[in-house]
Structure 1
Amino acid sequence: MKKLSRRSGADKTLYERQAVLCKAFANPTRIHLLDLLGRGEVGASDLQEELGISKANLSQHLSILRTAGVVSTRRDGKRLLCELSAPAIKQACDHMRSILKMQGRNHRGS
């Protein structure tokens, strides 16, 4: 049996950051929001309309995603524009969706 080594402080910090990221992803509206942003930069008003949520609710979701470092925003005049902070975020969401589809196929085959 392989002996497990103790984790360093840097590892613990990384685990804590990963937990924050997972918590940010742990909401269907935020996952939908990430999917929309995976297509490119989008105006906040367009996101609000597409998601069917209030401006205040969108603001809360964006705040959580910004704090987790997955979404960035910028102003263009009065317009608030939103985008994913890195392409890897879209890839991570795509990977999770692929796993869920695979699990669905495996579950049906049982």
Structure 2
Amino acid sequence: MPGLQRPLYQMKADFFKTLGHPVRVRALELLSQREYGVAEMLDEIGIEAANLSQQLSILRRAGLVTARREGLSVTYAITSPEVAELLAVARAILIGVVADQVEALEQPA
């Protein structure tokens, strides 16, 4: 299998590149709460359908979301709870970074 010949750090870098788009991150945040249909996600994210479909396709190819067709609509879900945990950890890290930056700005010059 070609994917297993790559070093783990390269696979991790590719994984984080997949997360490197605001629409993909927002879609994963929504899907961390529950399953969503594409139309519902469009209302929440506020972009064109073609753009959202493209971003969801990238997430699906990366194995982060699954798609289920129901008639004319498609419903998406995250593939594992670890995706939601990763987003929560990223949020905690960013809150800490921002708090440190605010604290540094509040120090007398």
TM-score range, shorter chain: 0.7 to 0.9
Q: Which residue of 2 aligns with 1:104?
A: 98
Name the counterpart of 2:24.
Answer: 30
TM-fit CA distance, 1:77: 1.6
8 Å contact 1:20–1:68 — kept in the other structure?
no
Q: 2:46: which partner in 1? A: 52
What pairs with 1:1-110 in structure 2 (closer than 5 Å)? 12-110=6-104
Query: How far apart are the structure 2 equivalents of 1:96 and 1:83?
Result: 20
Distance 2:60 2:97 in 1: 30
- Does the 8 Å contact 2:36/2:75 carry over to 1? yes
Give the number of equivalent residue pairs.
102
Work out the percentage of aligned pairs sharing the same amino acid: 34
Letter matched to residue 23 of structure 1: K
Unaligned residue ranges in structure 1 (runs of 5+): 1-9
Which letter does structure 1 place at the counterpart of 2:13? A
SS at match of 2:33: coil
Contact 2:36 2:77 (8 Å CA) reproduced: yes
TM norm structure 2: 0.85
Are the aligned partners of 1:44 and 1:82 in contact in 2 as well (CA < 8 Å)?
Answer: yes
SS at match of 2:75: strand
- Give yes or no for contact 2:23–2:52 (8 Å, CA) kept in 1: no
- Say which SS state the counterpart of residue 38 (structure 1) adopts: helix
Aligned-pair CA distance for 1:11: 8.0
